[in-house]
Amino acid sequence: MSNKSEENHTHHLILGKNTELYFSILCGVFLVSGYLIEKLTATASVIPLILYIISYGFGGYFISIEAFKKVSKGEFEIDFLMIAAAIGAAYIGSWAEGCLLLFLFSLGHALEHYAMDKAKKSIEALGNLSPKTALIKRNGKFEEIPIIDLKINDVIVVKPNTKIAADGVVIKGNSTINQAPITGESIPVDKTSISTMENLLEFHEIDKKHTVFAGTINGDNSIEVLVLKLSKDSTVARLIKMVSEVETQKSPTQRLTKKFEKWYVPIVLIVVVLLCFAYVIIDESFNESLYRAITVLVAASPCALAISTPSAVLSGIARAAQKGVLIKGGKALEDLGAITTIAFDKTGTLTEGKPTLTNIIPVENFDEATFLQLVLEVESLSNHPLAKAIASAIKKQYNIEAKNEASGVKAIQGKGITAFYNEKKVFIGNVKLMKDEGIHIDEIIISKMENLLQNGETVMLVAYVDKIIGFISVMDVPRKTAKDTLKRLREIGIKHMIMLTGDHQNVGDAIAKQIGLTEAKGNLLPEDKVTEVKALLLRDKKIAMVGDGVNDAPAMALSTVSVAMGAAGSDVALEVADVALMSDKLENLPFVFGLSKASKRIIKQNIFISLGMVFLLVPITILGLTNIGFAVALHEGSTIVVVLNALRLLRYDME
């Protein structure tokens, strides 16, 4: 049986989408009626034969089309084996068995397509998310227009309990919004209007409490949304595009079984042809030899094997999509299921990623007001989460504003930033940065730093010209769910959980202890994170890296499977990661790993069932210990069992 998704061939669908299923059922109906008439009427009649032939027609229709297509390309696959077996059965007069073969095979085929359709549908459901039109407000007037005509900076009005038509920022009104279609979170989130539209940041940089996604559902209040993305670039549009590409990537097991089939099918054909001539050697008629050959042909066909993996992979991916997790292909799914080591980024992954300012202290003889102003000016120019937190805290707590007195800011990866303030150089960052610049740090400051570091606070030194003028410390708290999540991960078989952070070792250790990580590695530059991932790969073969793509993208790219958090909020993460959690909920991880493990388990079971049946039936049929009907029932039955087993994944849940 072939995998539709990879060949993308469409059948003539006379009876609509389920034609294949109806044909298969009709095949079965004619088989049963033919069989009953044959058994119940004593006298020989042609009616059963006619019914069997009709049954052949329905059962063999789609299989012949596929077999023919492949044979004309020089490929002999299972469809061909089935047709050959059915013709052989007819030739020796075993019409009923031939019908049963075609019926079960086509039923398995139709079920396979049902599984694929089901998977695709839950993915395509995403496509129906965005409404077709939007109510826009132009010059104070309302107008309903198709969403493809929406332009950036249009203002749309979203009525209560309707779908939002575009990615944008709320500029008027507050509401709660059901984001489940995109992020899978079932609880609606509060959204408030942004205070000012001046200097509006990029969509992804705006605080999430103000931004909304196309396809999500507004709650009880009317809101106005400033459109920030064209309909074709919306998060949901890109999601759909990616999901449709997912299917083209085959999983490792799928590749393996394909390779196996390539050799196996011709071998079966040769053996079967040889068996046709068994009568030359042993004492039996040609028809008896043929009968045996056909029975072996049925028994040896790898029908179940061919669909065992694709059906499980698609079901797994579909289930994940329902929960707001995008798994990009069978490889990611299978690899994820085999993983026992996870490397985590710290900031924004294990921690909230919204550090609060705890200390901002100048050295004794430096003026505090100047110090604050300098830090504010410089950090306002940086995009780093630490910088954002520091700048906004200073503004709020000390009620001062940046006056654009700093310039030439440069980020030094993993160390900090440099800039100019009043034409003189400023350095803000860690000890490494100061060492690089040859700036002396005296004992008093070092001992103060130590205290804060023990506490799990991130400390940054500030130097002006060539002297330390003070330090800043911030505290980023672990996510509330981090501890439980790691515990659950351990329960489902993750052995090593390691934090990789650019922050100080002590901070890493403090957080690791609080949430129960096995190890924390601090003071890492982005390239050090890559080295660490390499080392882990060497030790454990396969590792997953969970991050947000901020300073861990290279390390993520190198890991076996990269998992991005909050991907709905970041273009890079969504694009690059193998697995994307739409929401930034760490607590989704156990579900993802659990589902992947379950998928892997089901794939294994399926392969065991399908190969097991072949190994069992082939010797029995060669020895002539069973009739063809029995072989057909067991063999094709295993195909159906395998598909049903895979469909279980659509209902997977933790516990």
Ligand X SMILES: Nc1ncnc2c1ncn2[C@@H]1O[C@H](COP(=O)(O)OP(=O)(O)OP(=O)(O)O)[C@@H](O)[C@H]1O
Catalytic site residues? 345
List 429, 478, 569, 590, residue binding ligand X (CB under 6 A): 429
* Total residues in contact with Zn ion, by rule CB under 5 A: 3
Nearer residue to ligand X within complex by CB, 156 or 387: 387
Exposure of 257 by Cβ count < 10 A (0-12 exposed, 13-18 middle, 19+ buried)?
buried
Using CB under 6 A as the binding rule, the residues of this chain from 591 to 620 that contact ligand X are none
Dihedrals phi, psi of 545, to nearest 5 degrees: -120, 125
* Shortest Cβ 249–Zn ion spacing (Å): 20
DSSP string, 319-384: HHHHTTEEE-SHHHHHHHHT--EEEEEIIIIIB-S--EEEEEEE-TTS-HHHHHHHHHHHHHT--S
Closest CA relative to residue 427, chosen from 418, 435, 436: 418
Is 569 a residue that touches ligand X (CB under 6 A)? no
DSSP for residue 478: B
Query: Quick check: 458 binds ligand X (CB under 6 A)?
Result: yes
Stretch binding ligand X (CB under 6 A), from 129-137, 426-434, 479-487, 593-601 = 426-434
Which residues inside 371-430 make contact with Zn ion, applying CB under 5 A? none
The residue (of 319 and 346) whose beta carbon lies closer to ligand X is 346
* Contact call for residue 387 and ligand X (CB under 6 A): yes
Virtual CA dihedral for 424, 429, 430, 434, nearest 10 degrees? -10
Residue 166 C-beta: closest distance to Zn ion, Å = 42
Applying CB under 6 A, among 60, 184, 337, 414 the residue interacting with ligand X is 414
CA-derived radius of gyration, the chain: 32
- Alpha-helical regions (H) of 516-582: 526-540, 553-558, 571-576
Q: Which is nearer to Zn ion, 79 or 379 (CB)?
A: 79
- Which of the choices Zn ion, ligand X, none does residue 570 contact, using the CB cut-off of 5 to 8 A by kind? none
| Neighbour order of strands in the sheet with 561-564 | 325-327, 579-581, 561-564, 544-547, 341-345, 496-500, 519-521
Q: How far apart are CA 315 and CA 650, in angstroms?
A: 5
544: helix, coil or strand? strand
The neighbour count for residue 228, using CB atoms within 10 Å, is: 22
- Binder to ligand X among 67, 386, 595, 643 (CB under 6 A)? 386
Q: Using the rule CB under 6 A, is 453 a contact of ligand X? A: no
* 425 touches ligand X (CB under 6 A): no
* Chain residue whose CB lies nearest ligand X: 502
Per CB under 6 A, contacts with ligand X among 472-511 are: 501-503
Nearer to ligand X among residue 137 and residue 448 (C-beta): 448
Count residues contacting ligand X (CB under 6 A)? 21
By the rule CB under 5 A, 261 interacts with Zn ion: no
Least Å distance, CB 354 to ligand X, is 12
183 binds, among ligand X, Zn ion, none (CB under 5 to 8 A by kind): none
Contact letters (x/-) for Zn ion, 1-40, by CB under 5 A?
A: xx--------------------------------------
Structure tokens given for 42: 């004593």
For residues 104 and 640, the answer to whether their CB atoms sit within 8 Å is yes
Q: Which of 191, 328, 331, 346 binds ligand X (CB under 6 A)?
A: 346
Within 64-93, the residues that bind Zn ion by CB under 5 A are: 66
Choice between 116 and 449, CB closer to ligand X: 449
Give yes or no for residue 430 binding ligand X (CB under 6 A): yes
Whether residue 299 contacts residue 291, with contact meaning beta carbons closer than 8 Å, is answered with: no
Q: Nearest to residue 444, comparing CAs of 465, 417, 471?
A: 471
Residue whose CB is less far from Zn ion, 289 or 309: 309
Whole-number Å distance between alpha carbons of 297 and 618: 9
Read out DSSP for 95-164?
HHHHHHHHHHHHHHHHHHHHHHHHHHHHHHGGGG-S-SEEEEEETTEEEEEEGGG--TT-EEEE-TTSB-
Q: Shortest approach of Zn ion to residue 170 CB, angstroms?
A: 50
Residues in the chain: 655
Q: Which is nearer to ligand X, 98 or 502 (CB)?
A: 502
Q: If binding is defined by CB under 6 A, does position 584 make contact with ligand X?
A: no
Q: Three-state SS for 588?
A: helix
Is 253 a binder of Zn ion (CB under 5 A)?
no
Residue 501 binding partner per list ligand X, Zn ion, none, with a CB distance cut-off of 5 to 8 Å that depends on partner kind = ligand X
Candidate segments 145-153, 322-330, 384-392, 535-543, binder of ligand X by CB under 6 A? 384-392
Pick what 66 binds: Zn ion, ligand X, none; C-beta below 5 to 8 Å, kind-dependent.
Zn ion
Q: Which residues bind ligand X (CB under 6 A)?
A: 345-347, 379, 382, 384, 386-387, 414-417, 428-430, 458, 460, 501-503, 551
Q: Which residues bind Zn ion (CB under 5 A)?
A: 1-2, 66
